[in-house]
Structure 1
């Protein structure tokens, strides 16, 4: 299996026009696709940290634009939702296109890495993870945080369409 190589500070354009109904879409190779003739049909995410076997932490921006979108306008837009963990398949298979690498990116200063909070477990076994530390929380409290699941490309694209085009 190919190793996914990402670096903190990389910004990827996530196409909002590709099919998402078929689970096989996660495995299709898009490396030869350029997507250059598309309009304002992309969302954006920035790599915060590769957690290796636990996914890749990313922040998704509340911005829709083109592959040529201005770097500053992307990172100055707010997060669409708190940071999440993704699989690297969208990157590995070329489904998501790297459009920038932020120079001097600092995961803590630029993305508040140590403040990322994700819920592990469910129900009575819910635990809040933050900066490598877990603490037990109630099932009701767990509803206030992102679940630590590893989102596939198509799962995240569906979520983005639902969030951006309500």
Structure 2
């Protein structure tokens, strides 16, 4: 049986100073309280157990690991699927939880879309099923399971830090 590492609604910090470190390195003994460390804030939307975890990343940078209020924050990019090693290796630390979290209400879970399948015959995945695209799909995220270092690098590139 797989151990549950995170739950929907968990708020976690993404260290932006580790994007060059291997995603398999353990950070269980790492001190994240050092001055000058920059983090981005994320939230778990749903843990699909062995299939990855759907998260949202907010356009919020913090320099300490205390709890933060993300209720008015905008997403940095659309939700993505991540491998669980960021949580398992203690690289991404859970710092709080959205009270009474409902993925549909707080994160628009039913509106999440991913492109799946081969590039010459793509389909759109939603929580309610799959369909063939009728419109332009260029702005829809391809369902890729990102590693922690890939997400960190993506954030660093977008924020230009």
TM-score in same-fold range (> 0.5): yes
1:116 aligns with 2:107: no
**In the alignment, which residue of structure 2 is the partner of 1:56?**
53
Tell me, which stretches of 5 or more residues in structure 2 are unaligned? none
**TM-score (norm: length of structure 2):** 0.90
DSSP-derived class of the 2:78 partner: coil
DSSP-derived class of the 1:144 partner: coil
**TM-score (norm: length of structure 1):** 0.88
**In the alignment, which residue of structure 2 is the partner of 1:14?**
14
**In the alignment, which residue of structure 2 is the partner of 1:102?**
98
1:155 aligns with 2:150: yes
| CA distance in 2 between partners of 1:111 and 1:95 (Å) | 23
| CA distance in 2 between partners of 1:10 and 1:38 (Å) | 24
Per-residue CA deviation, residues 85-116 of structure 1 (Å, 9 max, x unaligned), is 11110110011111111221111111111111
The CA RMSD over aligned residues, in Å, is: 2.1
1:114-153 mapped onto 2 (5 Å cutoff): 114-137=110-133, 141-153=136-148
Tell me, which stretches of 5 or more residues in structure 1 are unaligned? none
| CA distance in 2 between partners of 1:41 and 1:165 (Å) | 13
List structure 1 runs of 4+ shifted beyond 3 angstroms.
1-4
Q: CA deviation at 1:49?
A: 0.3
DSSP-derived class of the 1:142 partner: coil
1:71 aligns with 2:68: yes
Aligned residues between the structures = 161
| CA distance in 2 between partners of 1:19 and 1:148 (Å) | 21
